[in-house]
Amino acid sequence: METWRLLHTGYSDPAVNMAVDEAILHANSRGLVPPTVRFYGWNPPTLSIGYFQRATKEVDFDALRAQGLGFVRRPTGGRAVLHDKELTYSVIVPESHPMMPTSINESYRILSMGLLEGFRELGFSAEMVSLADEEEKKKFETLGSAACFDSPSWYELVVEGRKVAGSAQVRQQHTILQHGSILLDIDVEQLFSVLSYSSERTRERMVRMFRDKAVSMKDLGRDVTYEEAVDGFTKGFEKGLGISLVPAGLTPEEQAHVEQLVAEKYGTESWNFKK
């Protein structure tokens, strides 16, 4: 059985969290560290936006500041996510790994088997749904919303027909970074209060549509702690990917790179407000 590295980095601020994921990607691309699964949280609770989103157009920064929330632009695509009562995961693995298909959608499906088994480990009924046909895509599609979790990807992990984990993937230096949020609980009103819409009616419509599709573990009747989730999804990734996860820390080189990325990229307005 292949051994991968397991990282528990705890709660960090938004710039550090994104810097750690990128530093691991760079180290893995150079063969300095093995494939890695990382679990983490956010302090303060943070709104992250996808790489291609326009911050000043889609985010209400007055509301964000008033609520004491952090803000960061992710290196991955996708929509806005409010990181609060959740477990965040990341997986970093070479594109050339024998387990990884060349297709982004197929590699997403493979890596998401770790999530699937994690939910099952915690007692939930979870399945992977293929959205290859038009009927399935229409069922989950929501146009015009800035919030993540409301339109599942080509392959979507669903629990009782609704979305509990939102993931995004980027490939750089022949290395895959997939990260995402596993919702323990969610304050839908707070999420939509910090996103900008043309009218209050539009906002209310988006909230209703979001509630129909996205769900947290608490919504499904289970109070799962952060620690329980880490344990469940550690076992889930081991089972889903057929690997053994060995706890470790960041290397000194990775840590130094994290500090550089915070100072020069994720902690800067030029990155976070670049679009």
- Strands (DSSP E) found in 198-273: 243-248
* Catalytic status, residue 148: yes
- Tell which phi-psi region holds residue 175, choosing left (phi > 0), alpha (psi between -120 and 50) or beta: beta
- Strands (DSSP E) found in 21-153: 36-42, 46-49, 70-73, 81-83, 86-94, 126-130
Contact partners, residue 59, CB within 8 Å, separation at least 6: 47, 49, 71, 80, 194, 195, 196
Cα separation, 131 vs 110, whole angstroms: 15
Cα separation, 84 vs 191, whole angstroms: 10
Contact partners, residue 186, CB within 8 Å, separation at least 6: 82, 84, 85, 86, 214, 216, 218, 219
Q: Which of 239, 232, 228 is nearest to 118 (CA)?
A: 232
Catalytic residue among 148, 164, 168, 243: 148
C-beta separation of 117 from 235 below 8 A: yes
Strands 2-12 and 243-248: parallel
Cα separation, 171 vs 246, whole angstroms: 24
Catalytic center residues: 148
